[in-house]
Amino acid sequence: MKKDKLCAYCGKPASDREHVFPKCLYPTSKNKSKIQRLTIPACNECNKSWANDEAHFRDVMVLAGEPGGIANELWQTVQRSFKKSDGKRRLKDIISQLKPVEGNNYIIYPGLDERVIRVVKKVIRGLSHYYKIMTAVPESLVWVNILKYQIQENFLNEMTHDHREEGIAKYNYQVLKDYEHGIYSAWIITFFGRITFIGTVSFPESMKSNFARG
């Protein structure tokens, strides 16, 4: 890593490369894929800080929603991970997210899991840097929730679309610079073709000052 590179998440000198989308979301069948896996500069502290949360995120994404596709393939990896030294703790973390529903069944709500939301915020922060929209975005400026309502098609058409394997992660984004509502950019990210999050990045204080002077 070049000495002049700065961490995309905190702005400190970078020493590593961090995957924007957690590499644990990719099954072995995608190892030879030609789709670029986005990496950006990161300091060691930031790089390590998401390790446990990203594994938990993968587990929740695999278990939430309808079965099928890549999620089914990753389920084998998730099962094996529960047999590792930290497997009991991670399994307990998953069980704690199960909510009872009618008919003695249980469901996971990813939008209520703070660790899941933190990883989605991390992805948005990383994409903001990658697309040169904003760098070193503080987590406090990012809002994320499960997308509960259908987005109007005309709004989606105005957004830029990209993906990192259609079955793993696809996303839309737009730089709004909507100072009236305090929104700098908007994001829609779908994982495994079935769980969609919506997110926004707010204006940092420095930009608010510039608008105020303008």
Cβ contact 37:70 at 8 Å: no
Q: Model confidence over 95-153: pLDDT tens digits? A: 999 999 887 788 999 999 999 999 999 999 999 999 999 999 999 999 999 998 888 88
Q: In the predicted model, is pLDDT for residue 214 greater than 60?
A: no
Express as a percent the part of the chain with pLDDT over 90: 72
Q: In the predicted model, is pLDDT for residue 212 greater than 60?
A: no
pLDDT at res. 154 = 87
Q: In the predicted model, is pLDDT for residue 190 greater than 80?
A: yes
- The pair of structure tokens assigned to 188 is 């829609």
- With cut-offs at 50, 70 and 90, classify the pLDDT of residue 1: very low
The mean predicted confidence, pLDDT, of the chain is 91
Q: Model confidence over 29-59: pLDDT tens digits? A: 998 899 999 999 999 999 999 989 999 999 9
Write the DSSP symbol of residue 171. E
Q: What is the dihedral of CA 19, 151, 115, 65, to 10 degrees?
A: -100
pLDDT at res. 116 = 97
Q: Model confidence over 141-154: pLDDT tens digits? A: 999 999 988 888 88
